[in-house]
Amino acid sequence: MADLAEIEAMIAAALPGAAVEVVDETGAGDHLRATVAAPQFEGLSRIDQHRLVKAAVRARFDDGAIHALSVKTQVPE
């Protein structure tokens, strides 16, 4: 069971200036969807954008709080 606010904060801390929204897809708290718009994504491939997001929350995968995280990334306009 992950703390959504904590996950959002972890992503925001790794990507300063990012707009981050994390929602619980199943209601069980372990399958999450993150929508992230970050200036750091500029010029990166999608896979690298996703790597940045996943790396930010790696600790919560490793401790089992999250099982699945869908990620949608965008470069802010």
Tokens of residue 21, six digits: 């929204």
State CA 72 to chain mean position distance: 8
Can you tell me which of 16, 27, 47, 77 binds another protein, judged by CB under 8 A?
Answer: 47
Do the Cβ atoms of 24 and 4 come closer than 8 Å? yes
User: Which range binds another protein by CB under 8 A, 1-9, 14-22, 24-32, 43-51?
Assistant: 43-51
Distance separating alpha carbons of residues 20 and 33, to the nearest angstrom:
10
Q: Under the criterion CB under 8 A, does residue 50 sit at the interface with another protein?
A: yes
Nearer of residues 9 and 72 to another protein, judged by Cβ: 72
Bridge partners of 23, per DSSP, are: 33
User: Which range binds another protein by CB under 8 A, 1-9, 20-28, 36-44, 65-73?
Assistant: 65-73
Q: Under the criterion CB under 8 A, does residue 46 sit at the interface with another protein?
A: yes
Distance separating alpha carbons of residues 61 and 43, to the nearest angstrom:
27
List residues binding another protein (CB under 8 A). 46-47, 50-51, 61, 70-72
